[in-house]
Amino acid sequence: MRARALFTATIALTTLAAGAAVPAQAAKPAEPPKEPVAVGYGGAVSTVDETATAVGLDVLRRGGNAVDAAVAAAATLGVTEPFSAGVGGGGFFVYYDAKSERVHTIDGRETAPASMTATSLVNPSTGKPYEFDEARISGLSVGVPGTLLTWRDALARWGTRSLSQMLTPAARVAEDGFTVDETFASQIAANRAAFGQFSSTSALYLPGGQPPVVGSTFRNRDLADTYRLVAKRGTDVFYRGEIGRDVAATVQHPPVATRPIGSWPYPIRPAGMTTADLADYRTRFPAPTRSDYRGLEVYGMSTPSSGGVAVGEALNILEQYDLRSMPAAQAMHHYLEASALAFADRNRYVGDYSRQDVLRELLKDEYAKERACQIDASAALPKPVAPGVPDGAYGGCSAAAVADTRDDRKSTTNLTVADRWGNVVEYTLTIEATGGSGMVVPGRGFLLNNELTDFNFAPTQGTAPDPNLPGPGKRPRSSMSPTIVLADGQPFLAVGTPGGATIITTVLQMLVNRIDLGMTLPEALAAPRASQRNGASTQAEPDFIAAYAGNLPPGHVFSPTAEIGSATGIEFLSNGSLLAAAEPVRRGGGAAAVVGRWPRN
| Residue 270 CA from chain centroid, whole number | 27
The DSSP code for 508 is H
Q: Which residues contact 506 (CB under 8 A, 6 or more apart)?
A: 497, 499, 529, 531, 564, 565, 567
Amino acid, res. 567: A
Residue 41 burial class via C-beta count within 10 angstroms: exposed 0-12, middle 13-18, buried 19 and up: middle
DSSP alpha helix (H) spans, 304-449: 307-318, 328-349, 356-362, 365-372
Catalytic residue (choose from 8, 51, 80, 412): 412
Residue 112's alpha-carbon distances to 361, 390, 480, in angstroms, are: 28, 29, 18
Q: Which residues contact 156 (CB under 8 A, 6 or more apart)?
A: none
- The partner residues of 490 in beta bridges, in order of sequence, read 487
Distance between CA 406 and CA 350 in Å, rounded? 16
Distance between CA 479 and CA 8 in Å, rounded? 33
| Residue 26 CA from chain centroid, whole number | 33
Q: Order across the sheet with 538-540: list the strands.
A: 530-531, 538-540, 558-560
Residue 379 burial class via C-beta count within 10 angstroms: exposed 0-12, middle 13-18, buried 19 and up: middle
Pairing assessment for the beta strands 558-560 and 538-540 based on DSSP bridges = parallel
| Cα-only R_g, the chain | 23
Buried b (16+ CB within 10 A) or exposed e, 227-263: bbbbbeebbebbbebebbebbbebbeebbebeebbee
Is residue 9 a contact partner of residue 173, using CB atoms and an 8 Å limit? yes
Sign of CA dihedral 583, 587, 589, 591: negative
Is residue 212 a contact partner of residue 456, using CB atoms and an 8 Å limit? no
Distance between CA 299 and CA 310 in Å, rounded? 12
Distance between CA 411 and CA 389 in Å, rounded? 32
Distance between CA 436 and CA 224 in Å, rounded? 20
The DSSP code for 208 is G
**Helices and strands in the chain, H and E counts:** 19, 18
412 has catalytic annotation: yes
Distance between CA 592 and CA 415 in Å, rounded? 10
Catalytic (active-site) positions: 412
